[in-house]
Amino acid sequence: MALLLRILKRLGLIILAFLVIYAVGRPIQIWLDGFYTGDRGPYLQMMSSDAVTLRWQSEYKFAGVVKYGINPEQLNKIQREPDITEEHEIRLTGLKPATKYFYRVGDGENDSIKGIDFWFKTSPQIKSNSDKAVRFWVTGDQGYPNIIQDQVRDAMLGWVNQNPRSTNSSPTVDFWLTTGDNAYRSGTNEQFQAGFFEPYKSILRNTPVWPIYGNHDARRWVFFDIFTFPTKAESGGVASGSEHYYSFDYANIHFVVLDTEGSDLDVDGEMLSWLKKDLQATRQQWLIVFSHHPPYTKGSHNSDNKGDSGGRLITVRENILPMLEEAGVDVVLSGHSHMYERSDLMNCHYDNSSTFTASMVREKSKNNKYKKKENYISSNSGTIYAVIGSSSKVDHGPLDHPAMPYALQEAGSMIFDVKQNQLKAYFINKSGQVKDRFEIIKGVKGGVESKGCN
């Protein structure tokens, strides 16, 4: 018995020592995960009609310098960093709207990053009746570096090259948004380099990116250090005071980015209180909302399951959707579930899938087209919900949610084309095929009218 007690005592001490080492080592490891040593970038943030933030990282410290201008052979404007650092961030202001600028970055003496493909195009002026054609790319859960990620990226590039816009001077896409989970598996700085900055580097150097905060990004603290987001309405909308959630405008579109992972989802919480103000303030013709957690899914996640993702999918549906539909949101895009799912034009479904009824569908697809009566944002005139979570991996699931009749267990991404009163969307799989599409047309006689929930 005495021998057994001694063994148990020693075993207890070993376990205690292990727990102490883990308790001390874990925070240190998380802190170390926030660093990446090496070259990165450049990438474009917070684009507006008169400004853009340019970020990059260097292996050695120096005060960064950006040379830029509309002529690639004559970069006559210079912006310098005030501090010596490895992580460079410079805001260029006083720019002209809808104008293409070329740039170089370096230390002022040596332009370490330069070339004809280093350029950006500022946003057009914000107008509710803008006639500018807008094309943007949407990926979801694309942060897992593998062949699927490469195929989805290349399929998009191939498709847009084969389907050019009428204006030859326009870039491939005007900007890029994600639906979250930008770096698998834990959102470390090195994982961001491997799963985000390296595979998309040729896109990032001339395409502004708006990445959304996902649950895998939240496993470390680096996301909000790597990216720069508007807190003071630098790109339009109402100032949020937080990088976790914000809005921005582009031509005649108002975009709202929500943090459903790290922010309070209570109706009277800070984020949803700001959301209400922002939705009421916009006068844009189109209204599109992004979040990581989908309100409807039966893919690799189940939006009926209270235990799935801490109940956030249900809370999004119950607390956020009524606000969005009342405000007249046209499209809601999410990720998290590693499939593709899409609804018809619908509203008023805030419970589990068993309560979904045909009356909640405002209009079924007719030749992939949906029509709205009003030529502007109209309260409760129907919303299309889409889950885009298969841009680097595809999981399994029944794909039988009654609100999401268009569902695919395929890898892919989406391209959106918006011009005046028409919005067209294409889900392009990893082979470059359009496997789903839809179109919303506003200001059409006999289109869907505003109608509240009974």
Report the 3 state secondary structure along 296-340: CCECCCECCCCCHHHHHHHHHHHHHHHHHHHHCCCEEEECCCCCE
The answer to whether position 354 is within a domain reads yes
* Residues 173 and 151 reside in one and the same domain: yes
Work out the number of other CB atoms within 10 angstroms of the CB of residue 55: 22
Give pLDDT, residue 160.
Answer: 96
CA 443/CA 454 separation, integer angstroms: 25
Give pLDDT, residue 27.
Answer: 43
CA 197/CA 200 separation, integer angstroms: 6
CA 322/CA 347 separation, integer angstroms: 9
- Give the CATH number, domain containing residue 105: 2.60.40.10
Work out the number of other CB atoms within 10 angstroms of the CB of residue 436: 21
CA 333/CA 202 separation, integer angstroms: 25
* Residues 315 and 430 reside in one and the same domain: yes
Domain boundary residue, one of 121, 145, 161: 121
Q: Which of 268, 360, 285 is nearest to 323 (CA)?
A: 268
* Residues 387 and 340 reside in one and the same domain: yes
* Residues 170 and 107 reside in one and the same domain: no
Q: Residue 387 burial by CB count (10 A; 0-12/13-18/19+): exposed, middle or buried?
A: buried
Q: SS in 3 state form for 13-65?
A: HHHHHHHHHHHHHHHHHHHHCCCCCCCEEEEEECCCCCCEEEEEEEEEEECCE
Query: Rg of the chain over CA atoms, in angstroms?
Result: 23
* Residues 378 and 409 reside in one and the same domain: yes
* Residues 107 and 240 reside in one and the same domain: no
The answer to whether position 214 is within a domain reads yes
Give pLDDT, residue 117.
Answer: 92
> Residues 112-147, buried b or exposed e (16+ Cβ, 10 A)?
bbbeeebbbbbbbebebebebbbbbbbbbbbbbbee
Whether the Cβ atoms of residue 227 and residue 45 lie closer than 8 Å to each other: yes
Domain boundary residue, one of 121, 142, 168: 121
Tell me the pLDDT of the chain (454 aa) as tens digits. Answer: 665 566 656 665 556 544 444 444 434 444 344 556 689 989 999 999 999 999 999 999 999 999 999 999 999 999 999 999 999 999 999 999 999 999 999 998 877 777 889 999 999 999 999 999 999 999 999 999 999 999 999 999 999 999 998 765 567 899 999 999 999 989 999 999 999 999 999 999 999 999 999 999 999 989 999 999 999 999 999 999 999 999 999 999 999 999 999 999 999 999 999 999 999 999 999 999 999 999 999 999 999 999 999 999 999 999 999 999 999 999 999 999 999 999 999 999 999 999 999 999 999 988 899 999 999 999 999 999 999 999 999 999 999 999 999 999 999 999 999 999 999 999 999 999 999 999 999 999 999 999 999 7
* Residues 79 and 189 reside in one and the same domain: no
* Residues 377 and 312 reside in one and the same domain: yes
Sheet holding 77-80, edge to edge: 77-80, 65-69, 100-106, 119-121
Tokens of 411: 């890898």
Sheet holding 406-408, edge to edge: 246-250, 253-257, 286-290, 331-334, 384-388, 340-342, 406-408
Instruction: Report in angstroms the alpha-carbon separations of 312 from 54, 294, 341.
Output: 34, 9, 18
Q: How many residues does the chain have?
A: 454
* Residues 193 and 335 reside in one and the same domain: yes
* Residues 292 and 435 reside in one and the same domain: yes
The answer to whether position 171 is within a domain reads yes
Q: 46 — phi, psi (to 5°)?
A: 50, 50
Work out the number of other CB atoms within 10 angstroms of the CB of residue 410: 18
CA 173/CA 346 separation, integer angstroms: 28
Q: How many domains does the chain have?
A: 2
Residue with tokens 């993702």: 309
Give pLDDT, residue 366.
Answer: 82
Which residues are CB-neighbours of 269 under 8 A, at least 6 positions away?
263
CA 173/CA 427 separation, integer angstroms: 15
Residue with tokens 């869907």: 448
CA 342/CA 171 separation, integer angstroms: 28
Characterize the bridge pairing of strands 175-178 and 134-139.
Answer: parallel
Domain boundary residue, one of 100, 121, 142: 121
* Residues 162 and 112 reside in one and the same domain: no
CA 278/CA 327 separation, integer angstroms: 10
Cα four-point dihedral sign 295, 299, 301, 302: positive
* Residues 251 and 384 reside in one and the same domain: yes
Structural domain boundaries, residue 349: 134-442
Distance of CA 198 to the CA centre of its chain: 18
